[in-house]
Amino acid sequence: MIRSKSFIENDPQKTWRKYGILLAEMIIDYFIRRNMAKKMSDSKQMLFARNLICICVEEHKNADYQGLLYHQYADAPIEFDGTADLMIKMEELFDEWDFPQRGLAARKFDKKNRDEYKRKKINPGDDRLPIEIISDQHGVRNVQNKKGKLGTFVVQVVYRQDASWQGHVIIKESDEKKDFGSALELIRIIDNAAGR
């Protein structure tokens, strides 16, 4: 077996040291790139969600928050007067979009009103989700550039299970991303950040 002269050095320890340093640099480079790719994919996933909502908290009165709610399918904001009103309006949007879908169906005992809560079809012949149809009809707007006086929160609700919400929120002022397991946790995150 003949080896090339460039591969063999006089001192085998120098050769192993050189390859050890090269290997260490490759490992460090791999983990740096992996970490950067993970951060980039997290932010891209968050910023381009179908049901992205921007909450702009404008003022704090009577121990509650007032402000504006922006979503990607309308230019005009939706005003909210308190956290309960905010949650109700967000829930109505999710029901209109049918995304994310409810984990539990609303119950009605009156037979006439029961049919209202069955899945409403915007286009009866179309099998797409209502949010896809709305997106095609109205286009998509950027809600990332909105700003509230007391705080700005970009929210993505991923699931509506166990009669609550689960998802992610980006606090724009501190550029933090936090996960929440319920609507109450989301309210606490908003309260802690806007009350700073």
Digit-coded pLDDT (tens) for 65-99: 999 999 999 999 999 999 999 999 999 999 999 88
Residue 123 lies in a domain: yes
Regarding whether 113 and 93 lie in a shared domain, the answer is: yes
Residue 2 lies in a domain: no
Convert the pLDDT of each residue in 52-67 to its tens digit: 999 999 999 988 999 9
Q: What is the pTM of this model?
A: 0.70
Closest to 77 measured CA to CA, from 87, 67, 85: 67
Between 29 and 196, the more confident residue is 29
Alpha helices in the chain (DSSP H): 12-47, 83-97, 111-114, 130-138, 183-194
Would you state the structure tokens that stand for residue 149, as one six-digit string? 């006086």
Residue 17 lies in a domain: yes
Q: How far out from the chain centre does Cα 45 lie?
A: 7
Regarding whether 177 and 98 lie in a shared domain, the answer is: yes
Contact (Cβ atoms closer than 8 angstroms) between residue 177 and residue 155? no
Regarding whether 25 and 78 lie in a shared domain, the answer is: no
Regarding whether 99 and 32 lie in a shared domain, the answer is: no
Regarding whether 184 and 122 lie in a shared domain, the answer is: yes
Regarding whether 56 and 34 lie in a shared domain, the answer is: no
Regarding whether 43 and 113 lie in a shared domain, the answer is: no
Spatial strand order in the sheet of 52-61? 78-81, 64-71, 52-61, 151-159, 166-171, 176-180
pLDDT at site 123: 64
Closest to 187 measured CA to CA, from 101, 63, 97, 103: 63
Rg (CA), the chain: 25
Domain of residue 173 covers 49-194
What number of H helices and E strands is found in the chain? 5, 6
- Overall domain count for the chain: 2
pLDDT at site 107: 67
Regarding whether 73 and 27 lie in a shared domain, the answer is: no
Regarding whether 71 and 37 lie in a shared domain, the answer is: no
Regarding whether 138 and 43 lie in a shared domain, the answer is: no
Convert the pLDDT of each residue in 6-52 to its tens digit: 545 566 666 777 777 777 777 776 766 666 555 555 554 456 788 89
Convert the pLDDT of each residue in 113-160 to its tens digit: 555 545 455 566 778 888 888 888 888 888 888 999 999 999 999 999
Regarding whether 124 and 32 lie in a shared domain, the answer is: no
